[in-house]
Structure 1
Amino acid sequence: MAAKNAVLDRGTEISGLLTQASPFRRKTTLPAALIALLALAGCSTTTSTDMITVDRAQGSQENISSLSSVINSSPQDPEGYNVRGTAYGRAGEFSRALEDFNRAIQLNPQFYQAYANRALVYRNMGKPVEAANDYNRSLQINPNYDVAYIGRGNIYRQAGRTNEAFNDFNKAIQLETTDGRAWHNRGLIYQLRGQHAQAIDDFSKAISLSANSPEPYNGRGISYVALNDDDNAFADFNRAIELNDKLAESWANQALVYERRGDKARAYKSYSHAMRLDPNYKPAQDGAARTRANT
């Protein structure tokens, strides 16, 4: 990969579906408001798809020394700073990453990838305004940069500006992005609008593009629940747990299906596990309160 193409803000790829589901017991109809609450929770997942997964090895002395030697041999080449900044960002060393992206941009003010990379670091530092400004600048330079549309769309979505977010995800998709987050995040907006068939299509596309990511499975499962397709919902929630068993939302979603089946004991067990993972996750708190007396 050329140094100028070093991009920090890329989604991961996902493996195939789990198709089998456990046999149903009696289905319990839950209030529509509860489904809406879980769908909303899915729109602000405990593991955001635009947050950096820290890999300390990226910041190892050996790796950084190697990248620094490239910079030392060509100190006026902005691409070396962009690559090292990407490594620092992935290692969670955000201040050093900013320094490198700043230098890359100083050397080449038209370096749109460096703006997008710096934007993601700002996003992870809790500075959405600075991040949005950098995404805007990246898109001014290259209006066809899908990564910047997805990144800016995430900022809009989390700020509740869903129409603007939808337009950004649409644009990335029109540009034929191969980043599954564009479909996943557009699916969340369809879901919020109650357009569950469209949401399921988008989550399925995200799954086909992004291996090993539980988020689209959780999203698609919630839309299946909203359409009373509990078999497919249960399969998706179980698959999400297989991919990452540390997410409270996956366990709470699985518990929801148990609850709809009338299996309150298993529902309470899964809700309780979700609470151990994230004591502040409200769907798990509420679900445990509903099912506790049945254990």
Structure 2
Amino acid sequence: MTSTARTADFSDHTGRTAGRSNRRFFAFACLSAAAVLTLSGCTTGDTTSDMMRVERAQGSDENIASLSGVIAANPGDPEGYNVRGSAYGRAGEFRRALADFNKAIELNPRFYQAYANRALVERNMGDQAAAQNDYNAALQLNPRYDVAFIGRGNLYRQAGQLDQAFNDFNKAIELDTTDPRAYHNRGLIYQARKQHAQAIEDFSTAISLSPSSPEPYNGRGISYVAMNDDDNAFADFNTAINLNGKIAESWANQALVYERRGDKAKAAKSYSHALSLDTKYEPARAGLARVKAGV
């Protein structure tokens, strides 16, 4: 089964010891329906999952200007650079984000949150080695930092190093993380290993932690399909569509259930809609070709 991820995260970790606002922007990998009706596990490598999601409020020009004012008033405070770097990251201004995280680390070489934030920028800029080094540095400074385990686990997962990734997600979960990415991404590995009961359990936990995110519904639905539970799969895919109707994978997944039920007209309609959202989405293209050939 081919899988393609569409969103990524940017974590704002300011290092405050009290009243810290650690906003999480979840990096769920959206699993697509199989290009064939028999599911055979998931491909873990992808090329699109590391695009930053723009958060308009945090990445706005107004917010960045405000943060720049704070830095001007307190140029020796590394937290200001870390927060502004996060804002630049959300706005997709990676080089400026990198410069701010570099400055934060220069001012405080033990600022483990800044290392993890810099790693995410490096990952989005394609420098996987530097990202891994920074995640390692964050964990050396704070061996209980769940965010760094999740971030490094994603690096391993996308490189196909599933055992290492699995260990990192497990560690984050053992640390009682409330970050749904740990469960979702571990679920992807269970799914790749065809351990669908365990995958469903992890996707369900991710849903309980972030019920408005469509991606774990897609993931859980795929495992339901693999277990021939089309009714629950269909419910999950429809929920994903209701939460965000602009994700091609959700429509292709819905189409797969229609196809399995023999409703080729509805399957063709959903596959076509998926292609209207993403003209390069191959599972939808292949599915549409199948149902048209079978009409």
TM-score (norm 2): 0.86
Q: Distance in 2 between matches of 1:247 and 1:66?
A: 34
- Determine if contact 1:82/1:100 at 8 Å carries over to the other structure: yes
- Partner of 2:188 in structure 1? 188
| 1:40 alignment partner in structure 2 | 42
Instruction: Please identify, of 58-67 and 172-181, the stretch whose mean Cα deviation from structure 2 is larger.
Output: 58-67
Partner of 2:86: 86
Cα pair distance change 1:114/1:13, threshold 3 Å: closer
Alignment of 1:157-236 (within 5 A): 157-236=157-236
Name the structure 1 match of 2:24: 10
Displacement after TM superposition at 1:67 (Å): 1.2
Distance 2:146 2:51 in 1: 17
User: Which AA in structure 1 matches 2:237?
Assistant: F
Range with bigger deviation, 121-130 or 284-293: 121-130
Distance 1:13 1:287, change over 3 A: closer
- Which blocks of at least 5 consecutive residues in structure 1 are unaligned? 15-30
- Structure 2 match to 1:274: 274
Deviations 1:232-287 (A, max 9, x none): 00000011111111111111110110011010111111111112222222211211
Q: Which has the higher helix share?
A: 1
Aligned partner of 1:26 in structure 2 is none
Counterpart code for 1:207? I
Name stretches of at least 5 consecutive residues in structure 2 with no aligned partner: 1-11, 29-33
Percent identity among equivalent residues? 69
Aligned CA-pair RMSD: 2.6
**What pairs with 1:47-196 in structure 2 (closer than 5 Å)?**
48=49, 51-196=51-196
Q: 1:98 Cα deviation (Å)?
A: 0.7
1:239 aligns with: 239
Q: Is the 8 A contact 1:9 1:117 kept in 2?
A: no
The whole-number CA distance in structure 2 between the counterparts of 1:253 and 1:129 is: 34
Say if 1:214 and 1:52 are closer, same or farther in 2 by CA, change over 3 A: same
The number of residues matched between the two structures is 276
Structure 1 residues 46 and 197: CA distance shift in structure 2, 3 A: farther
| Counterpart Cα distance in 1 of 2:79 and 2:72 | 12
Q: Is the 8 A contact 1:7 1:113 kept in 2?
A: no
TM-score (norm 1): 0.86
Contact residue 46 and residue 249 of structure 1 kept, 8 A: no
